[in-house]
Amino acid sequence: MVVLIEQFINGLAIGSVYAIVALGFALVFGVAKVVNFAQGSQVMAGAYLVWAGTALWGLPLWAAFLAALAGSVLIALLIDLIAVEWLGDSAEIAPLLSTLALSFMLDQGVRLIWSPDPVAFPNPFAGISLQAGPLYFGATDLVILAVTLAFMAVFSLLLKFSWLGRSIRAAAQDAVAAQQMGVRTGPAKLAVFALSGGLGALGGVLVGMYFQQIDPSMGLPFGLKGFAAAMVGGVASLPGAVLGGLVLGVFESLAGGYIGSAYRDIVAFSLLLLVLVLRPQGLLGSRALQGLGGSRGAGAIPTTSPLADNSGFPVTVMGTRPIPMRWTMGLTLLIGLLASFAMDGYWSGVLAQGAIFATAALGLTVLTGMSGYVSVGNGALMGVGAYACALITTRLGWPFELVLPSVIVIGALAGLLFAYPILKLSGHMVALATLALGQIGYLVMLNAIPLTRGPMGIGGIGEPRFALLGGRALEFPGAMTALCFAVLLLALYLVHLLQRGHLSMNFQLIREDRLAADAYGVHATPYVVIAFITSSIMASLGGMMFAYQQAYVSPDSFLILFSFLLLTMVLAGGIVSPFGAVAGGIALIALPELLRGHAEYRELIYGTVLILIIKFLPSGLTSLSFGRRRAPAAPAPAAGTGGTP
């Protein structure tokens, strides 16, 4: 019992930190309807500003916090200016990716200004514990709890009794109605971003005190936990964000104490998935948004499509130039031949890796571009294919002719498992659920040591050997590159099959608005499952070739950043165009190699390029020679009358 109580108090302490991060997420989402992926980086930046104030500028902790508070608010307002205001009426997916790009840039900026190495954070309560009978409590945990409770009390009073708080609550409930009643929603939006910055500074101090050290890479993990806490409690519910953070912290602490520290994160994200399956709106959330166009709320044209802007216009779709599949496959074949037989070994390998990622990105062309479901977890599915290939080749010694269909079957099963928790979700919740699934996949790879060898990975993966060649490999210099492009061509042909007939039409109806598709007689569930399975197969094929090319796989090869990279590729190339996936995949793999001489600025340049593409090329590279938007095509009657299950 003593251990249980101590673990419970420890869980409340770290849960308080998660609650602070979740509050910033819920505030911004509630008013601005933006998934702010930079919230975790704001916590990291706030922690570094406090550390700099104490360690470099000689300020006392309270003065350093006030300076960090001002700096964090400024950072948050810049995020609002760039990711929301400047992008204007971009698609719903645009702020998600632009805040992600800003998060990368903020992390790299901290590395350049200070250091990529961890630094000690000042904690005047370190090493102090209090005894209450047989119980021992760390002073740091108690201080974190006290500070969090005091902040929650002041924050609640601010929201309930101040003019600003009433404006924020009105804008969160219904911005259009609030404007009609004379509420100025613009200042309310600025206020929630400023508050999210303040929460970043407070969260940074609490994180630093709890762990007693900070580093520039800590932003993303805490951002993910904050998103998970907000989803558990209710995506737009402020009390839910607090409850979700505390519940998450307690479950983590109990799992670490009774199961093992390696399973803390798995328990946390499994809890998120359980809540999403049983109660998609969260513990304290509301189902009201589902009837108003998913997470978008009441707009001029309600829609569940993440590819549409606030007026319902699918900006990431309509500017895409329709490029015939035969041209896409012909150009891919030409690039593959040149890379395999006419280029030196270095650039041949670079283009081979581009083909690998293009294969995996094609899965998102099907899932996101054709059916409208945004996934930020496909990197884990790529890992499924890589580990399947590694295990089959190293333990069973099977030839390529058996590895290929085995990976397809395993990828299909993984896609089916991936789809199950998603079927009842819509809008932003789909993206965050796939993010949780991606994290669980990564953590399984990391901790299933008897199968995956954990952090050590699996090496010794030989070249693809063919039974038709008597168990020999292809014996010419560009053989691996040629095989990578051959698998890419196979994936393109699979997409071509999906683009034919009523299947493609029904995908389009679901993409534009699932609610309208259901009303029109198209039963969306089987099509969504098909899209997830196909996407998983293509990601697994990319992972298979990744394992062959690298001859080694490890969990670090499939971090959540891989999933973001795949999504960026299809957005940069053209989210509904197979040619866009090929162009985006090859371009974004080649770009870092071209910037190798400026490695320290690579993430800054990468983030800037991504934001510029979102702003000026919302339909991707495939819209460069397409000057005018096409009028939306009316759905074909065959799609509705078919109504196939």
If asked whether residues 244 and 342 sit together in one domain, one would say no
pLDDT of residue 279: 79
Q: Domain of 105: which CATH number?
A: 1.10.3470
Residue 265 CA to residue 255 CA, distance in Å, equals 9
The string over 538-559, giving b where at least 16 C-beta atoms fall within 10 Å of a residue's C-beta and e elsewhere, is: bbbbbbbbbbbbbeebbbebbb
Q: What is the mean pLDDT of residues 559-580?
A: 84
pLDDT for residue 638 is more than 50? no
Residues 183 and 255 in one domain: yes
Does the pLDDT value for residue 629 go beyond 50?
no
Structural contact between residues 233 and 245, judged by C-beta atoms closer than 8 angstroms? yes
Give the Cα separation of 225 and 17 in Å (integer).
Answer: 10
Can you give the pLDDT at residue 630? 44
The 10s digit of each residue's pLDDT in 542-564 is 999 999 999 999 998 888 878 88
CA-to-CA dists, residue 258 to 3, 252, 264, 636, angstroms: 10, 10, 10, 57
Contact (Cβ atoms closer than 8 angstroms) between residue 336 and residue 356: no
pLDDT score, position 179: 73
Residues 223 and 354 in one domain: no
Region 230-242: what's the mean pLDDT? 80
In this structure, are residues 176 and 182 in contact, taking their beta carbons and an 8 Å threshold?
A: no
Instruction: Please give the span between the terminal C-alpha atoms of the chain, in angstroms, as a whole number.
Output: 53
pLDDT in tens, 74-87: 999 998 888 878 87
Between CA 487 and CA 500 the distance in angstroms is 21
Whether pLDDT at 101 is above 60? yes
DSSP-assigned beta bridge partners for residue 458: 553
Contact 34, 99 (CB under 8 A): yes
Collapsing DSSP to helix, strand or coil, 522 comes out as coil
* Mean pLDDT value of segment 46-61: 91
Q: Give a yes or no: residue 304 inside a domain.
A: no
Distance CA 591, CA 579 (A): 18
Highest mean pLDDT among 180-189, 292-301, 324-333, 429-438: 324-333
pLDDT > 70: what percent of the chain? 86
Q: How many CB atoms neighbour CB 490 within 10 A?
A: 14
Return the pLDDT at 233. Answer: 83
**Does 295 reside within a domain?**
no
Name which residue leads in pLDDT, 97 or 405.
405
Chain centroid, CA 623 distance in Å: 25
User: Do both 207 and 67 map to the same domain?
Assistant: yes
Q: What does the chain come to in residues?
A: 645
> Which of 260, 284, 308 marks a domain boundary?
284
**DSSP H helices in 282-365:** 315-318, 325-341, 345-364
Residue 341 is predicted with a pLDDT of 93
Q: Is residue 317 part of a domain?
A: no
**What pLDDT, in 10s, does the model give residues 466-523?**
999 888 988 888 999 999 999 999 999 999 998 887 888 888 888 877 777 777 788 8
- If pLDDT is split at 50, 70 and 90, which confidence band does 322 have? confident
Burial letters for 417-432: b for 16+ Cβ neighbours within 10 Å, e otherwise? ebbebbeebbbbbbbb
DSSP strand pairing (129-132 vs 458-459): unpaired
Nearest to 242 by CA among 21, 44, 40: 21
Where are any strands of DSSP class E within 85-224?
119-120, 129-132, 135-138, 213-214
Domain match, 245 and 329 both: no
Residues whose CB falls within 8 Å of the CB of residue 44, separated by 6 or more in sequence, listed in order: 106, 107, 110, 204, 214, 216, 218, 219, 222
Least confident segment among 127-131, 395-399, 611-615:
127-131
The token pair that represents 147 in the structure block: 């500070």
DSSP string, 18-65: HHHHHHHHHHHHHHH----TTHHHHHHHHHHHHHIIIIIS---HHHHH
Q: How far apart are CA 267 and CA 255, in angstroms?
A: 7
Contact status, residue 167 vs residue 185, Cβ threshold 8 Å: yes
- In terms of domains, do 513 and 379 share one? yes
Query: How does DSSP classify residue 213?
Result: E
Q: What is the pLDDT of residue 115?
A: 83
For the beta carbon of residue 89, count every other beta carbon within 10 angstroms: 12
Does 316 fall in a domain?
no
Whether residue 25 is found in the same domain as residue 123: yes
Which region holds residue 127: left if phi is over 0, alpha if psi is between -120 and 50, else beta? left
More confident residue, 525 or 30: 525
Q: Is the pLDDT of residue 575 over 90?
A: no
Q: Is the pLDDT of residue 37 over 50?
A: yes
Q: Rank 37-46, 311-320, 407-416 by mean pLDDT and report only the highest.
A: 407-416
What pLDDT score does 133 carry?
66
Query: What pLDDT score was predicted for residue 99?
Result: 86
| 279 vs 368: which has the higher pLDDT | 368
Average pLDDT of the residues in 224-248: 82
Same domain, yes or no: 273 and 398: no
628-632-636 Cα angle (round to 5): 140
- The answer to the question of residue 310 being in a domain is no
pLDDT of residue 309: 57
Residue span of the structural domain in which 443 resides: 323-642
Strands 119-120 and 552-553: unpaired
d(CA 578, CA 587): 14
Structural domain includes residue 204:
yes
Instruction: Please list the residues that pair with 119 across neighbouring strands.
Output: 214
Asked if pLDDT for residue 297 goes beyond 60, the answer is no
Q: Mean of the per-residue pLDDT values for the chain?
A: 82
Q: Are residues 245 and 394 in the same domain?
A: no
Final residue before a domain boundary, out of 253, 284, 315: 284
| pLDDT tens digits, one per residue of 121-153 | 988 887 777 767 666 677 888 888 888 888 888
pLDDT at residue 603, as a whole number: 75
- Position 88 scores a pLDDT of 66
Q: Would 598 be classed as within a structural domain?
A: yes
Burial class (CB in 10 A: 0-12, 13-18, 19+), 396: exposed
Q: What is the mean pLDDT of residues 453-461?
A: 91
Residue 48 pLDDT class (50, 70, 90 cuts): very high
Q: Helices in 80-133 by DSSP H: which ranges? A: 93-113
Does the pTM surpass 0.75? The reply is yes
Gap between the Cα atoms of 467 and 433, Å rounded: 41
Exposure of 16 in the CB half-sphere (CA atoms within 13 A)? 25
Same-domain status, 506 and 628? yes
Number of domains the chain is built from: 2
Give pLDDT, residue 641: 37
Burial group, residue 243, by CB count within 10 angstroms (0-12, 13-18, 19+): buried
Q: In this structure, are 178 and 40 located in the same domain?
A: yes
d(Cα 338, Cα 331) in Å, to the nearest integer? 11
State mean pLDDT over 210-230. Answer: 85
Residue, of 335 and 615, whose pLDDT is higher: 335
pLDDT computed for residue 8 by the predictor: 79
Q: In the prediction, which pLDDT does 317 show?
A: 60
* CB-based contact 555:454 (threshold 8 Å): yes
In a domain, 313, yes or no: no
Top-confidence residue, 313 or 434: 434
For helices 602-616 and 93-113, the axis angle rounded to 10 degrees is 160
Which of 263-269's residues contact partners 24+ apart within 8 Å by CB, and which partners?
A: 263/447, 265/439, 265/443, 266/440, 266/443, 266/444, 266/447, 268/225, 268/228, 269/228, 269/436, 269/437, 269/439, 269/440, 269/443
Give yes or no for residue 639 having a pLDDT over 80: no
- Which residues are bridge partners to 136 per DSSP? 131
On whether both 452 and 525 belong to a single domain, the answer is yes
Residue-level pLDDT at 91: 65
> CA 253 to CA 259: how far, in whole Å?
10
Q: What is the per-residue burial (b if ≥16 Cβ within 10 Å, else e) of 99-118?
A: bbbbbbbbbbbbbeeeeeee
- The residue among 119, 95, 97, 94 whose CA lies nearest residue 44 is 119
Beta strands 135-138 and 472-473, pairing class: unpaired
* Amino acid identity for residue 456 in this structure: M
Chain centre to alpha carbon of residue 456: 25
Which residues are registered as beta bridge partners of 129?
138
607/100 Cα distance (integer angstroms) = 8
- Joined tokens for residue 366: 């099907």
Greater pLDDT, 179 or 57: 57
What Cα–Cα distance (Å) separates residue 29 from each residue in 283, 485, 536, 563?
17, 41, 29, 22
Q: Is the pLDDT of residue 7 over 80?
A: no
